[in-house]
Amino acid sequence: MSDLLKITDLAVDFDTTYGKLHAVRGVSIDIAEGESVGIVGESGSGKTVFSRATMGLLRGSSVHRTGQILFEGTEISSLDSKQIREYWGTKIAMIFQDPMTALNPVRRIGAQMSESLIKRLGMSKSEAKDRAIELLTLVKLPEPELALEKYAHQLSGGMRQRVMIAMAIACNPKMLFADEPTTALDVTVQAQVLELLADLRKELGMAMVIITHDLGVVAGYTDRIAVMYGGEIVELASTTDLFTDTKMPYTEALIKSIPRVDRKRGSELSSIEGMPPDPTSNRASCGFADRCPYAVQKCRDEHPQLVDAGNGHSYRCFFPIGGK
Amino acid sequence: MAGTGKAHLRDSPAPILRVENLVIEYSSGRSDPVQAVSNISLELHDGETLAIIGESGCGKSTLGKGILKLVDVTSGSVVFNGVDINTLDKEALRQVRPNFQMIFQDSISSLDPHLTVGRIVRQPLDIWNRGEESERDAKVDELLVSVGLEPKRVKNRKPHEFSGGQCQRISIARALTLEPKVLICDEPVSSLDVSIQAQILNILQEMKVRYGLSLIFISHDLAVVRAISTRILVMYLGKVCEIADPDTLCDSPRHHYTHALVSSVPVPDPTVHRHSAILQGEPPSPTNPPSGCRFRTRCAAATELCATEEPQLRETTPGNYVACHHPRD
């Protein structure tokens, strides 16, 4: 499989009244065709800014982006606004956490769906309607013909997210970014949507990036997982390795802090004390040092580099769990 | 159950709170009223954490609010220490209220943005005129310390200066100011990051022991609930499906809906392959609930009987109850 998306040393800074906010600090990752990658991190870890930068959605004078984002060999910042419209939808598409605000509240679902089909793919009105029904059937929305006549508020959260997915895959994108796609949904509907995304990925041969704060969500649905903390990737590994051969203390703490439905209750949940690092600081230490149970002086004095442990497994720690 | 019944109520030891046949209806303008809570009975025992779990729209939050009488109750009783609070007049209700407190999902919006944290936590004492000035200040400090905040640093700041997790700590401190007997937590951790979520859950556990609280914990997250509760009550469309201790409920659920809920919870471990019984479709509209068992339209085991007769709660193993005509083995 060849690399579809190649990101090298991506950094994103924002100008704020408190100074420069370093949202993403030197992230490198390659994603192959058809691959499914999870990006996991807490609020403020930079995962959403990373995905928006990759989509080419971050524009404006207060955004400073460095590093490379190559999609099929083309740097996306070199695309002008007409070219980026070509890029969105056919190359890469995105679904968001809150499908209610992503959909237009005053237009019928059918009108919203056919707009892109008519404008982008040059379909006639009736062709667009047929295709919209086909897409809604593909995402297993019950009674697709009726849904076309409805407004977003008449659908449940799960149905709205299915509509969003249908719109995202309308132009057969090569890669789908899903930013917290199930966070606003009930657990039973979450399971349905995750299954649907997995099925669609196989059917359409898309690469998929799931961005989430929930390691449980990505455990069953991804090939690889990148854990982000304080704007950096702190561990990147195959999904199995990440859980069975955890190197980074932060990843370990994250896994331990998740309550599990398949485990008997213990005395106390292990929590990660303290708060994530200040995003405006220029970090000279390990970002996790203040919260890490294994931290020593070196961790507070030096910033660790990403270490390649082989087999596609890398981590950012001086003293990885289980040794180097 | 989507069924009904009171088989699970015990009288001894006397529960701290007993809810019987509670019905809460919302009028919906044109059509018939919606029964958000339909004939629910439950008990809360001293020192217990009773979890109420279910999907959006199942009536779990309304039930919590109904117990506190924050919404009008259509019928049924809520008995606290032998007194039915639905029969109390306004002043008598006010006198009982300090015994119940609630914390909410969105901690930031549940704190008054104009007040300092010190004022927020102290206000209940001022309103009830409890203790001397200095005692009130000492109480505020004690509470802030117990939820892991440093009084000197936080007292003069306002809620917007704090993160979601810190605001939830402040909410907990405020809720405990009047030393309540019952704390109702409505999705207290669902908007928090997992690492912070564990901190808040641990604080709640600690506070429960320290202040002798009984908790009602409303949540949609079965994994969280399993970690902290003593009993779990599963709701579906305003009815009770199953009540059991956490291990029984999660390891061998008897109700088909509980089983589906348990199987849908993602497990953070790629080596665990769980038999996934994904529920199809979504809950029917509560304005026109299915006859008989309300879950039957999505239940693989449903039969004719389920459409005609509403299942009653019955005991399966000691202390565990299910409302289903055809429970799982």
Summarised one tens digit per residue, pLDDT across range A238-253 is: 999 999 999 999 999 9
Where would I find the H helices in chain A? 47-55, 81-90, 99-102, 109-121, 125-138, 144-148, 157-168, 187-204, 215-219, 239-244, 249-257, 297-301
Where would I find the H helices in chain B? 60-67, 90-96, 117-128, 133-146, 151-154, 164-176, 194-211, 222-228, 246-251, 256-264, 304-308
Summarised one tens digit per residue, pLDDT across range B181-232 is: 999 999 999 888 888 888 899 999 999 999 999 999 999 999 999 989 999 9
Give the pLDDT of residue A89.
87
Give the pLDDT of residue B4.
72
B275 touching chain A per CB within 8 A: no
Give the pLDDT of residue B11.
67
Q: Pick the closest to residue A42 from A245, A237, A254, A301 (CA basis).
A: A254
CB-closest option in B197, B261, B268 to A216: B268
Count the domains in chain A. 1
Summarised one tens digit per residue, pLDDT across range A213-240 is: 989 889 989 999 999 999 999 999 999 9
What angle is formed at CA A237 by the lines to CA A233 and CA A243, rounded to 5 degrees? 110
Query: pLDDT tier at B329 (50, 70, 90 boundaries)?
Result: confident
Q: What DSSP state is assigned to residue B215?
A: E
The 3-state DSSP composition of chain A as helix, strand, coil percent (nearest 5) reads 35, 25, 40
**Contact state of A262 with B272 under an 8 Å Cβ cutoff:** yes
B197 touching chain A per CB within 8 A: yes
Nearest C-alpha of chain B: how many angstroms from A92?
27
Contacts of B269 in chain A (CB under 8 A): 219, 243, 260
B287 touching chain A per CB within 8 A: no
Written as one string, the DSSP assignment of B156-190 is TS-GGGS-HHHHHHHHHHHHHTT--SEEEEESTTT
Q: Pick the closest to residue A73 from A174, A169, A168 (CA basis).
A: A174
Contacts of B272 in chain A (CB under 8 A): 262
Contacts of B268 in chain A (CB under 8 A): 214-216, 219, 243, 255, 258, 260
B276 touching chain A per CB within 8 A: yes
Contacts of B226 in chain A (CB under 8 A): 259-261, 263, 265
**Contact state of B227 with A259 under an 8 Å Cβ cutoff:** yes
B281 touching chain A per CB within 8 A: yes
Give the pLDDT of residue B1.
41
Domains by residue range for chain B, with CATH: 17-322 (3.40.50.300)
**Contact state of B56 with A195 under an 8 Å Cβ cutoff:** no
What angle is formed at CA B188 by the lines to CA B183 and CA B192, rounded to 5 degrees? 155
Does residue A116 fall inside a structural domain? no
B285 touching chain A per CB within 8 A: no
- Contact between A132 and A118 (Cβ < 8 Å): no
Q: How far is Cα A137 from Cα A126, in angstroms, rounded to an integer?
A: 17
Contacts of B266 in chain A (CB under 8 A): 190-191, 194, 214, 216-217, 219-220
Radius of gyration of chain A (CA): 21
Q: How far is Cα B48 from Cα B210, in angstroms, rounded to an integer?
A: 13
CB-closest option in B196, B247, B279 to A188: B279
Give the pLDDT of residue A245.
94
Q: How far is Cα A177 from Cα A43, in angstroms, rounded to an integer?
A: 18
ipTM, two decimals, is: 0.82
Does residue A295 fall inside a structural domain? yes
Give the A:B interface size as CB pairs under 8 Å: 132
Range of the domain at A10: 3-106+151-261+268-308
User: Which phi and psi angles does A252 have, rounded to 5°?
Assistant: -60, -45
B137 touching chain A per CB within 8 A: no
- Residue appearing with tokens 């083309």: A74
**Contact state of B195 with A42 under an 8 Å Cβ cutoff:** yes
Mean pLDDT value across chain B? 90
Q: How far is Cα A134 from Cα A226, in angstroms, rounded to an integer?
A: 34
Does residue A143 fall inside a structural domain? no
**CA dist A155 → A100, B113, B290 (Å):** 9, 34, 20
Mutate to test the interface with A, among B193, B218, B272, B299 (most CBs of A within 10 A): B193
Cis peptide before B180 (omega within 30 of 0): no
Nearest C-alpha of chain A: how many angstroms from B95?
35
Nearest C-alpha of chain B: how many angstroms from A150?
17
Does residue A19 fall inside a structural domain? yes
Contacts of B196 in chain A (CB under 8 A): 42, 271-272
What distance lies between CA B114 and its chain's CA centroid? 29
Summarised one tens digit per residue, pLDDT across range A115-135 is: 889 988 889 999 999 999 999
Q: Which residues pair with B79 in a beta bridge?
A: B18, B84
What angle is formed at CA A43 by the lines to CA B147 and CA A214, rounded to 5 degrees? 95
**Contact state of B247 with A257 under an 8 Å Cβ cutoff:** no
Q: Extract the tokens encoding B139.
A: 């109480």
Closest chain A residue by Cα to residue B276: A191
Contacts of A187 in chain B (CB under 8 A): 55, 220-222, 261, 264-265
**Contact state of B202 with A269 under an 8 Å Cβ cutoff:** yes
**Contact state of A219 with B270 under an 8 Å Cβ cutoff:** yes
Does residue A131 fall inside a structural domain? no
**CA dist B178 → A42, B18, B67, B229 (Å):** 34, 22, 18, 23
Nearest C-alpha of chain B: how many angstroms from A303?
23
CB-closest option in B194, B228, B280 to A257: B194
Q: What DSSP state is assigned to residue B235?
A: E
**Contact state of B194 with A239 under an 8 Å Cβ cutoff:** no
CB-closest option in A142, A261, A272 to B250: A261
For the domain that residue A173 is a member of, what is the CATH number? 3.40.50.300
**Contact state of B264 with A190 under an 8 Å Cβ cutoff:** yes
Q: How confident is the model over B159-188, as a mean pLDDT? A: 93
Contacts of A258 in chain B (CB under 8 A): 194, 223, 268
Does residue A315 fall inside a structural domain? no
Give the strand order in the sheet containing B83-84: B34-44, B17-26, B75-80, B83-84
Nearest C-alpha of chain A: how many angstroms from B272?
9
Q: How confident is the model over B287-293, as a mean pLDDT? A: 90
Does residue A119 fall inside a structural domain? no
Summarised one tens digit per residue, pLDDT across range B23-71 is: 999 887 777 888 899 999 999 999 999 999 998 889 999 999 999 999 9
**Contact state of B281 with A142 under an 8 Å Cβ cutoff:** yes
User: Which phi and psi angles does A154 have, rounded to 5°?
Assistant: -85, -5
Give the pLDDT of residue B126.
95
Does residue A317 fall inside a structural domain? no
Query: pLDDT tier at A36 (50, 70, 90 boundaries)?
Result: very high
